[in-house]
Structure 1
Amino acid sequence: MNSNGEKSPFTLTVLYTTDVHGNVLPHHYANNEPSPTGFARLAPLIRAQRARHEHTLLLDNGDLIQGTPFTYYYSRFANEAPHPMIQILNELGYDAAVLGNHEFNYGMDLLNKAVRESSFPWMAANIVDENTGEPYFGRPYLVKEYPGGVRVGVLGLTTHYIPNWEHPRNVKGLAFRDACETAKLWVKRLREEERVDLMIVSYHGGFERSLETGELTENETGENQGYRICMEVPGIDLLLTGHQHREIDGADINGVRVIQAGGMGMDLGMAQATLEWENGAWRVAAKDSRMLHQGEFVPDPAIVKIVSGIEEGTQRWLDQPIGFVEGDMTITDPMIARLREHPYIEFLNRVQMEAAEADISCTSLFDNWSPGFGSRITMREIVANYIYPNTLKVLRVSGQDIKDALERAATYFEYADGVAQVSAAFSNPKPQHYNYDMWEGIEYELDIARPRGDRVVKLEKNGKPIDPAGEYDVAMNNYRAVGGGEYPMFKDKPVVRDITVDVSELLANHIMEKGTIQASVNRNWKITANGVEIVTE
């Protein structure tokens, strides 16, 4: 307050991380090569920014505790110890965190343990107890009061599409309400009852429309509602987003300043709001947002110390030799591995078929960094290739369902001027290679020069056309089995068998049992353009 009794302008600096996915130390677990990721890199930047700005708020926007061999090792073999990712946020003094969809991957016991160990609240206003309807994690929002009486509200929201991906046992007892509709209720309450002067929504979800034109950029499944929230929920000043692993800053939608920090701990998001005292009330006078990147740095010693024990255990576990490969199962070009059957994909499907006792299987090459298997296999190769904690299901589906799924998979490709490329739907706003499936146990051909929806030109089983009305048992991961990746033909189909062992563990067990595995393919499928195979001998 100045000499005239007027309150001085107030500036709040919001720092936030999102989609860190268990990245702490700046290296790739596949090969221990340097990587520009992780909390050990971000921590010095976070500490410096908090020291530089008088009034700060530090938030995590979800997908924190899953995503690397480090967090997998902890969840499976070291979970009696305090959760290292929570210890990191406690050490850095986070004010709050929002639930991400991947927080549920390791089950509710581990998630509840993480929440209990946190010195900050976890927020998800739209994840409620299915019996009481109350927010399950207790705190739907955070209100902090700063000097001058400035009241800042932060509402936490999570993409409500989680039941379409997650194993039912991992979300038992929970109901996931529409994020946008929930925002309408709670933002109104925060404005009217909590009398907040600055309204922040931290949403683990992204944007379903172009920020510039408002045109739809994906199917309106409800997975991402950032644009809709800005357009339909009055009273929001700042919207922090995530889930899509994009970098968005300096953008406004309907007067709301929006930001999305990139994933894996590569970026620190920063948003600032300046409030001025006017006619007896605080008014937001200016808003800004930008991405902060760490340059030269020394890994934060406190963070390194927190993770050192579990990191050592992780590295020992990853280097355990479990078997050998006869032949070549390495992946040198991921695009070619998707255009023509690769020994690694064939192996993965064969293991799924064996474990699930099914004669049809589908799987995908999750990203463009999967190395395949060298001649000597360790757990490092397993987790470098199979990066998700998926389990298996066997669904009973129709022949038409299989054809529809193949047509969906065929949209992965665009074909023009004699070149096959990844379509925009699978590459923008984030890569979705994991949504392109390759099948074993059937024979099929996809002609990607043909119009979408009419690309399956051959579909047989044992040399005979698949009956559209016939029933077939198919092994697939739990994400796909609930329709994840825009495969609605699988949603709510009868589950014949449920294999609850992680697929990565199934792979390891198979390799250890065999000792040596064979790199081979049976060429049961091919990708063509105008009837000519795109990849030839």
Structure 2
Amino acid sequence: MEKMDLVILETSDVHGSVFPINYGSNQSSDVGLGKIASLIKKERVKNPHLLLIDNGDLIQGTPLTYHYAKIQCNRPNPMIVLANELKYDAAVFGNHEFNYGKGILASTVNESNFPWLSANIVSKETGEPYFGKPYIVKKVEDIKVGILGLTTHYIPNWEQPQHIEGLRFEDAILTAKKWVKILKDDEKVDIVVVSYHGGFERDLETGEPTETLTGENQGYQICMEVEGIDVLLTGHQHRQIAGNRINGVIVVQPGKDGSTLGKVTLQLEKDEVGWKCVEKYSELLSVTAVEEDISLLQKVKMYEDITQEWLDQPIGKIEGNMIFHDPMEIRTKDNTLIEFINRVQMEVAGVDISNSALFDSISLGFPENVTMRAVVSNYIYPNTLKVIRITGQDMKEALEQSASYFEQYDGKEIKVNPSFITPKPQHYNYDMWEGIDYLIDISKSSGERIVKLEYKGKPVEPEKEYDVVMNNYRSGGGGNYFMYKNKQVIKDIPTDISEIIANYILDRKVVKATVNQNWKVIY
């Protein structure tokens, strides 16, 4: 009986990470395509029958890709230079592929020596897959492998409308049912691989919901409801998942930033009927202790050198202290860093209420001598600003949503609600406000924690309307802030917030750190 091992390697949520460094500190870090490349090359030597797929969120996420998109976009995209060199077989569109607009996305697709897939991103006019290819069929010896691409259809809740104009994002489950049947019945494939830029909405073992079932993540449902799938490659949640089967489907998810490489091995046998999979398993290959592929990094060293020079440009000074060492301190009482970001947003938007978040727990503030590195390390997303008109009731509900970031106080220590940590860290979904005065009492149950809410010294009125500036992700309801959805947009400010902050400092040369103690957490 003829036998064969087929290996499928997956990268996902690389987010522009190439060099093994943390851009905030320029210290070494176990991340990036440079290290992933070394793993891929080793696997190619060991496994002659191998497919390599990127599962989305490849081209956005570091100063390298930001600088390329904003300043060097007349050159080839460095991420595609590397992906071509590594000979990817296919890539799937993630939600962050759209962040830099349709021009960058079009050039990304055109420069790629491999197809980009997404069956459920269709043209509003024709209903056909917008980017041409819902799937590909790869021949490995005489085995036919169908690879179907799917993208979380929740993107319109986050992305700027002009970036997705003319596109419709269809339900991933319904789309998978349609195209998997075509792969099996019409294409007569032996193996079906679904590469889905989305994650799991339920516990992989028990099936219990692990998040609000909005449709953002449908991986569990895909496995349970779509017949004929052998492998489900996932991403979006930045989780590290391997070794699990759901309804017989082997699944994998390789974290983020190129920290691990997903690997699926299918043991195949051929009988008189044809090829069939007799065993399958998945694993994660870590880049820890792996040396980066210097020859690959040389292909984009010019981009990196220019980016590093740009990052170290001084843009101004901070008078006072805007450095923190404890992220929980920032999230439990008013502080100079978040107050500064909110005040910048308020000034550029011409309103007097704003909210913002501390996006991660690594870069905590601006040093006395501010560089672009400090700005992009603290404001890590390519968000823009919107002013929306909300009611006082909407404001109260939004603050309660933020307040659910904390577990109910146990008398010992302040803890983060596990739902903001697992299955994916979501610290960026805790907002802090300027322009209103409020108290969060975490000794109370969620939904009852805002014990003071005032605007200009008077209680916020539930029916009264207020204009608030916030990032575009939040204004569309991202992060379960459903009270913001479909609100009237008073002003749209299309400039990246990191650029707004940098220009603010450049214009003033010296910025004074202030804090007015307009909010705090109590217990």
TM-score tier (shorter): over 0.9
Residue identity opposite 2:187 in structure 1? E
1:175 corresponds to 2:172: no
Residue identity opposite 1:325 in structure 2? I
- Match of 1:81, SS state, is coil
After superposing the two structures, state which structure 1 stretch, 267-276 or 112-121, moved more.
267-276
- Match of 2:138, SS state, is strand
Counterpart CA distance in 1 for 2:254 and 2:414 is 31
Counterpart CA distance in 1 for 2:483 and 2:361 is 27
Match of 1:533 in 2: none
Pick from 344, 362, 369 the counterpart of residue 369 of structure 1: 362
- Match of 2:414, SS state, is strand
1:42 corresponds to 2:36: yes
After superposing the two structures, state which structure 1 stretch, 44-53 or 413-422, moved more.
413-422
After superposition, residues 46-445 of structure 1 pair within 5 angstroms as: 46-147=40-141, 149-414=142-407, 415-445=409-439
Counterpart CA distance in 1 for 2:158 and 2:6 is 36
- Taking a change above 3 Å as real, the CA distance of residues 507 and 53 of structure 1, as seen in their structure-2 partners, is same
Residue identity opposite 2:433 in structure 1? W
TM-score normalised to the size of structure 1?
0.96
**1:158–1:204: 8 Å Cα contact kept in structure 2?**
yes
Match of 1:15 in 2: 9
Counterpart CA distance in 2 for 1:518 and 1:146 is 63
Counterpart CA distance in 1 for 2:93 and 2:313 is 33
Q: CA deviation at 1:205?
A: 0.4
Residue identity opposite 2:100 in structure 1? Y
Q: CA deviation at 1:279?
A: 3.6
**2:30–2:288: 8 Å Cα contact kept in structure 1?**
no
Unpaired runs of 5+ residues, structure 2, are: none
Match of 2:485 in 1: 491
Counterpart CA distance in 1 for 2:286 and 2:326 is 30
Residue identity opposite 1:439 in structure 2? W
Residue identity opposite 2:38 in structure 1? P
How much is the aligned-residue C-alpha RMSD, in angstroms?
0.9
% same residue: 55
Counterpart CA distance in 1 for 2:521 and 2:438 is 9
Q: CA deviation at 1:164?
A: 0.5
Pick from 440, 449, 456 the counterpart of residue 455 of structure 1: 449
Residue identity opposite 2:102 in structure 1? M
TM-score normalised to the size of structure 2?
0.99
Residue identity opposite 2:244 in structure 1? A
**2:266–2:281: 8 Å Cα contact kept in structure 1?**
yes
1:481 corresponds to 2:475: yes
Match of 1:535 in 2: none
Q: CA deviation at 1:295?
A: 4.4
Pick from 440, 455, 470 the counterpart of residue 464 of structure 2: 470
- Match of 2:36, SS state, is helix
After superposing the two structures, state which structure 1 stretch, 323-332 or 294-303, moved more.
294-303
Counterpart CA distance in 2 for 1:212 and 1:135 is 33
Match of 1:31 in 2: 25
Counterpart CA distance in 2 for 1:297 and 1:418 is 41
Counterpart CA distance in 1 for 2:273 and 2:220 is 33
**1:39–1:265: 8 Å Cα contact kept in structure 2?**
yes
Counterpart CA distance in 1 for 2:341 and 2:419 is 25
CA-to-partner distance for each residue in 1:251-278, whole Å, 9 max, x for gaps?
0001111111111001010001112123
Residue identity opposite 2:110 in structure 1? R
Counterpart CA distance in 2 for 1:83 and 1:506 is 24
Residue identity opposite 2:339 in structure 1? E
Counterpart CA distance in 2 for 1:228 and 1:95 is 26
Unpaired runs of 5+ residues, structure 1, are: 1-5, 530-537
**2:31–2:287: 8 Å Cα contact kept in structure 1?**
no
Residue identity opposite 2:150 in structure 1? L
Q: CA deviation at 1:10?
A: 2.0
Counterpart CA distance in 1 for 2:447 and 2:368 is 40
Residue identity opposite 1:47 in structure 2? K
Q: Structure 1: which 4+ aligned runs deviate by more than 4 Å?
A: none
Counterpart CA distance in 2 for 1:296 and 1:396 is 51
Q: CA deviation at 1:431?
A: 0.8
CA-to-partner distance for each residue in 1:420-443, whole Å, 9 max, x for gaps?
111011000111011000000001
Residue identity opposite 2:356 in structure 1? T
Q: CA deviation at 1:294?
A: 2.8
Q: CA deviation at 1:233?
A: 0.3
**2:59–2:96: 8 Å Cα contact kept in structure 1?**
yes
Q: CA deviation at 1:283?
A: 1.6
- Match of 1:421, SS state, is coil
Residue identity opposite 2:218 in structure 1? Q
Q: CA deviation at 1:370?
A: 2.2
- Match of 1:520, SS state, is coil
Counterpart CA distance in 2 for 1:298 and 1:523 is 48
Residue identity opposite 1:37 in structure 2? V
After superposing the two structures, state which structure 1 stretch, 510-519 or 476-485, moved more.
510-519
**1:371–1:381: 8 Å Cα contact kept in structure 2?**
no
Counterpart CA distance in 2 for 1:452 and 1:262 is 30
Residue identity opposite 1:307 in structure 2? V
